[in-house]
Structure formats: C-alpha cells, structure tokens
C-alpha cells in the first residue's frame, strides 16, 4: 500500500515544530507529572518542597524548557485550528504574530513566576 | 476582524462532526477536542500557580482544597485528555513518517487501549494518594 502522506506537500516548519515539541512533551510532561504529582506525598508538593525542588538547577532548566515547549505546542495547535477558518494570507500572518506575542508573554510570565518562587 | 459567515464556520467545525466518518476522522476529532481541553487547562494551571507567588500560607491552604475528591477527579479527567492526545499524537507522527500506515486502525486501537490502561493505573494512584 502506498503511503498517502508521501503525496502531500513537504511539511512546513511549524508542522515539524509541532511534531518535535509533541515528542519532547512526552518526556517533559511525563517528568513534570510524575515529579509533581506522583512522587510528592499526597500528590502535591508543599510550598517549601516546591521551592527546594525548583532550586535544583537541572530541574529548573527542565521545567523552563517544559514551559517553552508546551506553550509553543499549544499555540501552534490554536493556530492550525484558526487557519481551518480559511483565513486570508494577511489574516494568517496577523494570527501568527498575535499568537507569537501571546507565547512570549506566557513564557515571560512563567519565568517571572519561577523567579519569584525561588527567591 | 474575521468575517464569521456560515460556510466558514461550517468548514471550521466540520471535523467536530464524526457521524458516518471513518476511524481516522474519529482520531482526528478526538485529538482536536482534547487539544482544546488541554489548551484551556494550560492557562488555568498557570493562573493557579500564581498562588505560589503569594507565599507559603496561600499555597498550603490551596493544597487542602486541591486534595479534595472533586479536584482529584478533575486531575483524573485531565490525565485522560493528556493520554489520549499524547498517544494519538505519537500515532500521527508515526503514520506521518510512513510507519504503520497499513495498520492505522489497529494502531489507533492500540494507543487508545494503552491510554485506558495507563489512565486506570494513574487514577488508582491519584485516588489512593
């Protein structure tokens, strides 16, 4: 049987990024979920536990990477749903710019929040 | 402004209607529905985490609420969405790369079965914690 996907045009950068971030999320979300909700007693860390957990530089790096990856994956998903409305090229560009801005603001908020918590 | 005329709306929500559709369409719709749930949850989660910025008193009192049966049930529901979306996403990537195209339906059934098994195990762990 012929692979029907082989007939499709080459995937766009955003499509590849969506797939790559999705694959990365399997690891990062799994780690986040297990560390925050399964390892912690009672399924949730106390305030002091959260602070000491995030003060570990490796964990901090992974959590921030998780934030960026999950935000970009989510916003690319929103983008593809919005593009299904059959937007004009100009409108697609506007949507992409707006979602990029939302992504940057979300990541900035996450980094700020993390900084406040570990101080 | 995006002009919201009926044909556009119909086109955009076509994927939502899975009546008389094949397995692939069911998988696609399921992926989209769970993606919308997870997108909403992402921002809800970030908003909830802002409680941490208010200090230990606020967070620790929130924890007692978060350990309630209702909250745990929401966690279990969320986990179902994560597993369905994540494992279905793996199927999409695999078929997109040309692997398992011939057995797409079987692959979908397999990942959904795996999702149910993982979900059941995690639900027992969540309620038991």
- Which of A25, A86, A109 is the closest to B46 by Cβ? A109
DSSP states along chain A: ---GGGGSPPPPHHHHHHHHHHHHHHHHHHHHHIIIIISSGGGS--HHHHHHHHTSHHHHHHHHHHHHHHHHHHHHHHHHHHHTTT--HHHHHHHHHHHHHHHHHHHHHHHHHHHHHH-
pLDDT (0 to 100) of residue B23: 80
CA separation (Å) from B29 to A34, B32, B36, B76, B118?
28, 5, 11, 21, 21
CA distance B43 to B39: 7
- Which of A22, A87, A116 is the closest to B53 by Cβ? A116
For residue B47, which residues of chain A lie inside 8 Å, CB to CB?
none
Average pLDDT of the residues in B14-29: 77
| Model confidence, pTM | 0.85
- Which of B32, B39, B129 is the closest to A42 by Cβ? B129
- Residue numbers of B between 1 and 40 with CB closer than 8 Å to A: 2, 8-9, 11-12, 15, 32, 35-36, 38-39
CA distance B100 to B5: 39
Count of CB pairs separated by less than 8 Å, A with B: 94
Instruction: Respond yes or no on whether ipTM tops 0.90.
Output: no
For residue B42, which residues of chain A lie inside 8 Å, CB to CB?
70-71, 74
Rg (CA), chain A: 18
B56-82 tens-digit pLDDT = 999 888 888 888 889 889 989 999 999
Q: Judge whether residue A4 has pLDDT over 70.
A: no
Chain B nearest CA to A46, separation (Å): 6
Give the residue carrying structure tokens 């009192």: B61
A73-102 tens-digit pLDDT = 999 999 998 988 888 999 999 999 999 999
């Amino acid at each position: 049987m012929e692979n029907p996907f082989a007939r499709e045009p080459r995937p766009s950068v955003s499509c590849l990024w969506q797939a790559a971030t999705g694959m990365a999320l399997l690891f990062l979300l799994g780690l986040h979920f297990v560390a925050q909700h399964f390892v912690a007693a009672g399924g949730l860390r106390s305030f002091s536990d959260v602070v000491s957990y995030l003060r570990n530089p490796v964990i901090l790096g992974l959590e921030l990477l998780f934030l960026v990856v999950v935000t970009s994956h989510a916003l690319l998903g929103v983008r593809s749903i919005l593009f299904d409305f059959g937007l004009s090229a100009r409108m697609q560009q506007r949507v992409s710019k707006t979602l990029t801005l939302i992504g940057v603001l979300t990541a900035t908020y996450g980094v700020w929040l993390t900084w406040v918590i570990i101080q | 402004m995006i002009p919201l005329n009926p044909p556009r709306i119909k086109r955009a929500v076509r994927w939502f209607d899975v009546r008389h559709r094949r397995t692939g369409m069911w998988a696609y719709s399921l992926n989209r529905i769970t993606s919308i749930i997870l997108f909403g949850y992402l921002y809800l989660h970030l908003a909830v985490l802002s409680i941490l910025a208010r200090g230990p008193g606020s967070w620790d009192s929130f924890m007692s609420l978060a350990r309630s049966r209702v909250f745990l049930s929401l966690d279990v529901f969320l986990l179902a969405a994560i597993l369905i979306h994540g494992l279905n996403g793996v199927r999409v990537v695999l078929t997109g790369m040309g692997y398992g195209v011939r057995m797409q339906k079987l692959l979908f059934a397999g990942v959904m079965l795996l999702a149910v098994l993982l979900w059941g195990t995690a639900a027992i762990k969540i309620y038991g914690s």
